[in-house]
Structure 1
Amino acid sequence: MAPHAVATLAKAALPSVPGVSLLPGVRKEPSSGHLLLVRRRTGVVVDADHAARYAAVCGFPRKDAVPLPYPHLLGFDLQLALMSEPGFPAPALGLVHVDNVIRSHTPVLPGQVVDVEVRVGEPRPHPRGRIFDFETVVSHEGGDVVWEETSSYLHRGSGDEAAPRGLELAETPPSGAVWRLDAGLGRRYAAVAGDWNPIHVHPLSAKAFGFPRAIAHGMWTMARCVATFENRLPAATTVEASFRKPVLLPGSVAFGSRPRGDGGLDFSLSRPGAPGADPTWHLLGRAFPTPD
């Protein structure tokens, strides 16, 4: 992990540390009602070796273009940077990634030079708190948009029971494949993605946040699903995912998928259970051609 990414992650975590969270420059202030934060990086070269490491840890086959979810990593440290700004009204370690939507327009190629912009505005209400939508846009250098993403994070608190809960996705039953995930998966993905949130990397640090042991990254679970069907979809593809129950490491997950009428498919990850039992959902998703 690059030194600047370590520093950004540490800064983003400070508002979650008792005592430190009250210091000037660290303390989070309530939203003013006009929140709009933007970070932009230009001239980013898509690193072929990094994309290959990502493909390997997420199960993608070798191909000319980078995996469809890979550009998320081009903007992830910009997300962290926005979360660490004093003007952002919630601590990074208090946010829960609940939904993710990717809209790919054209393939992103290794060696390509792109511009990356991430922005976040005012939160919207949720029954369990409020949602911050981080919008990431990847474009040709000074040109057309090639890839977009909305990452939705929940900050728990007083909510609005009448507000939408998030993406409404089909409950696709398991279709036979079961993946066994080892205890080191979170650390391997973190080493590629730069997401060293302590709930993912060690059972002791995960327990400090209320989990019995480390949990898999939500973006890994989505990417692992996409790896099974990406080659069957057009380059211009939209993928929507809703993260439900966390995946404990080590553990096993059951994958499910079925075709949709629009040329895409619905998919899921669930906890393996007895035949006929109601599944415990870890992830629900769908993929379909991106509209023109």
Structure 2
Amino acid sequence: MPHTNMTLVRAAVTSPFKKAGRPGATVPTDRAVLPAAPAVPGRLASYRRICGFSEPDTLPLTYPHVLGFPPAMRLMAARRFPLPVVGLVHTWIEITRHRVLRPTDRLELTVYADGLAPHRRGTEVTMVTEARLAGELVWESRSGYLSRHATDGAGGDDATDRPSGTGATDAPGRPETADGPGGPETADAHDPSPSPTPDTYPAPELPAVAEWRLPGDLGRRYGAASGDRNPIHLYPLTARLFGFPRAIAHGMWTVARCLAESPRPDEVRWVRADFRAPVLLPATVTYAAGPTGFQLRGADRVHLTGRTVTDAPGPQAGSAAATGGRS
């Protein structure tokens, strides 16, 4: 799996010449395509171990996004991309699985930008990753990446106040308050695409399920498994260079770990997660879940909120309400 180091270097060179928030800015129509190929067994095994997935016959729901992250980075680091990739922060993700995926499936991945949207603290780009099997769309993800800049305050979703990083990162930043924006939203279980207003709802207190002690080298271990070696995740020194007191956990690791802990991770067909506050490493966090979704909490803040829809009949965790979703 190609890592993003050279892309980050290129991004650091080109980003100072870009100015976010230019009137009339649009994203290029370029698409990055990875040829059809199965998952590399050793890399997939490493990813399963670090995230806690134990179902060997199915591909983890989050794994195609990991495979598509390097080409997404290349698109965002391109000269024609309107936002400076240095400082872009992954704020939310939605993943939809249209059929069960196997490790041996030869997935073709397509990645592209799907437009810019005004944000109360800047401009947000939506990046799309699609996986096809023999031409059939079998999996897709949509992710929001925020570029912070001065605005007139008339943008869309609320935002958290985050320090800049090196390149687009799935790491959440610092919230304005302990919990940041977001809260529950009622939604139809058969239409997992709600349009909540994030600052309308407080996040509910979900029942604690498990407590995890996260080691200081978690970012390096996940980076080795995923290919995302953003410096803010690796060492305290490299994290401090970009505004964090210590290395922080990857946001996509927190999503994957929560899914792996769910009762039926192989049956989850849709997930929505919002990154609300960074997890400074080492850390002790609480995984909480209930009929409204899931959370990852620290001692004084909520780091992640989300919900899922599963293939299983009957009541589904997260199918009736959302915690902190944005469309």
TM-score band, normalised by the shorter chain? Answer: 0.7 to 0.9
| Secondary structure, aligned partner of 1:56 | helix
Over 3 Å counting, the alpha-carbon distance change for 1:248 and 1:168 in structure 2 is closer
2:61 aligned residue (58, 63, 68) = 68
Q: Is the 8 A contact 1:174 1:268 kept in 2?
A: no
Q: Which residue of 2 aligns with 1:282?
A: 303
Structure 1 partner of 2:189: none
Q: Which amino acid aligns with 2:303?
A: H
Secondary structure of residue in 1 paired with 2:90: strand
Cα separation, partners in 2 of 1:124 and 1:230, compared to 1, 3 Å: farther
- TM-score, length basis structure 2: 0.76
CA deviations over 1:214-269 (Å, ceiling 9, x no partner):
0000000111100011626635x110000011000011111100025xxxxx0001
Does structure 1 residue 267 correspond to structure 2 residue 299? no
Q: CA deviation at 1:107?
A: 1.9
Same amino acid, percent of matched pairs? 38
TM-score by length of 1: 0.84
Partner of 1:275: none
- Structure 2, unaligned runs of 5 or more: 160-180, 185-202, 312-318, 320-327
Could you tell me how far apart the structure 2 residues matched to 1:282 and 1:39 are?
31
Shift of 1:105: 1.2
Matched, 1:113 2:106: yes
Paired position in structure 2 for 1:100:
93
- In 2, Cα distance between equivalents of 1:269 and 1:173: 10
How far, CA to CA, are the matches of 1:121 and 1:68 in structure 2?
Answer: 21
Say yes or no: does 1:231 pair with 2:267. Answer: no
Shift of 1:173: 2.6
Q: Kindly state the Cα deviation for residue 81 of structure 1 after the two structures are TM-superposed.
A: 0.6
Per the TM alignment, residue 192 of structure 1 is displaced from its structure 2 partner at its CA by 1.3
Could you say which residue in structure 2 is the equivalent of 1:6?
5
As a proportion of its length, which structure holds more helix? 1
| 3-state secondary structure, aligned to 1:123 | strand
**1:245 aligned residue:** 277
- Tell whether 2:286 aligns with 1:214: no
Deviation for aligned residue 1:45: 2.3
Distance 1:202 1:232, change over 3 A: closer
What is the root-mean-square deviation of aligned Cα atoms in Å?
2.3
For residue 219 of structure 1, give the secondary structure of its aligned residue in structure 2: helix
Q: For residue 123 of structure 2, what is the aligned residue in structure 1?
A: 130
* Unaligned residue ranges in structure 1 (runs of 5+): 261-265, 273-278
| TM-fit CA distance, 1:174 | 4.5
Corresponding residue pairs, total: 269
The answer for the alignment partner of 1:276 in structure 2 is: none
C-alpha separation in 1, matches of 2:183 and 2:272: 9
Q: Which moved more, 1:160-169 or 1:117-126?
A: 160-169
